[in-house]
Chain A
Amino acid sequence: MELLLQDLPIAVLMGVIGAIVFTLIGVVSGTDETATIAPLTLVVILIGVPPAGVFTFFMAAAISKHMTHAVPTMLLGIPGDTLAVPILEDAAKMRALGLPHLALRKAISGAVISAFIAIPAAVLFAWILSPFGDLITSFAPWIFLVAAAGIAYSSAAKWAGVIALVPFVAVILGLQAWTGSFEVSLSISYFLGIAIGPMIVALFMVLVPQNRKEMRRSQPSHVYLAPDVRPSRTEGEKAGRTFPNPFKVLDRRQVTATAATSVVSSATFVFSPVAVTVLMGEIVGARIKQGYQRLTSVITAKNGTTESTYIAETLIPLIAFGLPLSPVAAGPAAPLFNAPPVFETNPDGGTINNISTHLTTFDFFIFALLGAVCAVAIAYPFAMRYAHVAAKFVVTKVSHEAIIAAFVGLVVVVSLWEGGLMGLMVVTAVGLVGGMLIRLVKVHAGVLFMGYYVAVLSVPGILAAFG
């Protein structure tokens, strides 16, 4: 307890810094979590911030980002980051109704509720799973494989989705072997390729003369922007002056659905967060009859799940195993496990010196809550207050060409940054193949993300098991 109190000031400071920085980064379209949270967390570790400060920074960053990532997703129709991809289609429907600002408020309110439920739930699941650490570690490759098949079957593609996983995994393995022969190891380029696949396919299609004829329109699109909808205003609330209340933005059914999906998704820590987000949306939507109620509830639950999966997939591997045994732990949270010379995790070599060896379960719980408080205090009012103003600005001032320009630039920057020309080729190849699978085979991005994890986590483990 003394150590906890001693670390509290630096944890608060780092939580506030993480929340401010990632509230702003979240607003920038396509800023993949692994490309942004991982390197900045690495910087924080390398400059000598104590473990409590590092962990609070990471949690505040992830939670803030998954609130403000809803801004470009809802308003522009391009994903704020990888986890925003499953919400795109629902966001498009809300924009068509002229209610992107309301979609934004629902989404971030769901994130607030989910963050505070997922933290205790994840700590509880981690505590339950701790005694089975070795068993789960040995079965992990098979668990990823079965989860991928299950998620693929649950998509609209059904068996076609399961079968499509095989060539997709083969493509990933082939690209990895190719870049590996030049001693280049990539990950973000794959995430980015899957996330922006549909845009890459659209840009390729417009290059084909016959497709271009079919894509021609005599009129620009018609966009309806509804007035600023805030029913609570009529009950005397002065908008913008008080701290927003998620329980006024969401009705009881939406709060219950978000809470339930947060708890369930906290337990599915080996699944791709994108896949779990899609799945939770399907489960919530299946129970609601009225179209608008269904759409807003699905958006709320899905964005809540983006928080709960990240929280659980960070906390459970740290508390229960001390090993990066989840997609998030192997990606954006990787520096918490490996940041030489400060942290190093090599179970085969018997070295486990990571953030889990410096903090207790209670420390993790307290500093995760602190990170959530910092994120909610900064990101939530920011996004809530400016939702309608931002929506109006975007539809009237920002052309779709400008959005595509920024996004093409981002694809080029992130892939070149990670792997030079090879990164650019990987992002293009994965984007084209993945985008066509999404468009033609009707799998969702979550299936492809699971395919990626099968390639990097299951295949090597299964091959090793068979000698």
Chain B
Amino acid sequence: MTRGPAGDAAPAAEQQGEFLHVWGDTVRGNKLLIGVLVGIVCGIVGLYGGRAVVTALGVEEQLVDVWSLITGILGCLAAGVITARVSSPARIISEDAEDSGALAAAIDELGEDTRGLGVLEDATDLSRAELEAAGLTEAFREAEARVAARAESRRDGGDA
């Protein structure tokens, strides 16, 4: 499955470079602004509106604070739902490992750890079975080969 980010508007947005990489994912600037404003407004309405309603219902004074927090959090959830309605995810989603260009980079990133990527033979049977079931074994083998090739070329460079 491959999904476009925002229907017909998506290609035009991509050409203009309208996506922004914020806090680990891509967003559209105008939709982000709307989301932030909706979050603030819904949160405040949930907190203070909820407090007013709970007080009007005659709830004990000690519990009004707790209930207003709960209604405030419900306001935040409402903000998430409203923003999700007005902004479709700016993601290209794939359920085929080979479709995703980012997969190789993600595996290479594991190898950037000081302990390296290692080889699948060092993993347990369960881990290997999980990778096999997810269709990732081949991608890990290819990444191991890239690591080995880089090590080889460094050795050759050193010898020279």
Contacts and interface: CB of A to CB of B under 8 A. Distances in A.
Question: Is chain B a partner of chain A in the same complex?
Answer: yes
Interface of A: 28, 31, 35-36, 39-40, 42-43, 46, 77, 92-93, 96-99, 102, 198-199, 202-203, 206, 212, 215-227, 229-231, 234, 250-253, 285-286, 288-296, 395-410, 412-414, 416-417
A142 B42 CA distance: 44
Contacts of A404: 22-23, 27, 32, 35-36, 39
A408 B43 contact: yes
Contacts of B63: 43
A293 B103 CA distance: 17
Interface in B28-68: 28-29, 31-32, 34-36, 38-40, 42-44, 46-47, 62-63, 65-66, 68
A92 B27 contact: no
Contacts of B27: 399-401, 404
Contacts of B93: 223-225, 395-396
Nearest to B89: A399
Interface of B: 3, 5, 10, 14-15, 17-29, 31-32, 34-36, 38-40, 42-44, 46-47, 62-63, 65-66, 68-69, 72-73, 75-77, 79-84, 87-97, 99-103, 105-107, 109-111, 113, 115-120, 122-127, 129-136, 140
A99 to B, nearest CB: 6
B32 A401 contact: yes
Contacts of A396: 3, 89, 93
Contacts of B3: 396
A290 B127 contact: yes
Closest 8 A/B residue pairs (Cβ): A291-B110, A406-B80, A409-B43, A405-B35, A96-B106, A413-B72, A409-B76, A290-B118
10 contacts: A28-B76, A97-B106, A288-B118, A289-B115, A401-B34, A401-B90, A408-B40, A409-B76, A413-B44, A416-B43
Given A223-B91, A413-B43, A406 B77 contact: yes
Which of A225, A294, A401 is the most central at the interface, judged by chain B CB atoms within 10 Å of its CB? A401
Contacts of B107: 97, 291
B59 to A, nearest CB: 11
Given A400-B90, A402-B87, A417 B69 contact: yes
B66 A39 contact: yes
B31 to A, nearest CB: 5
B3 to A, nearest CB: 7
A397 B89 contact: yes
B92 A231 contact: no
A413 B75 contact: yes
Given A401-B32, A401-B35, A412 B43 contact: yes
A220 B92 contact: yes
A231 B134 CA distance: 10
A229 B90 contact: no
Contact of A399 (B83, B102, B136): B83
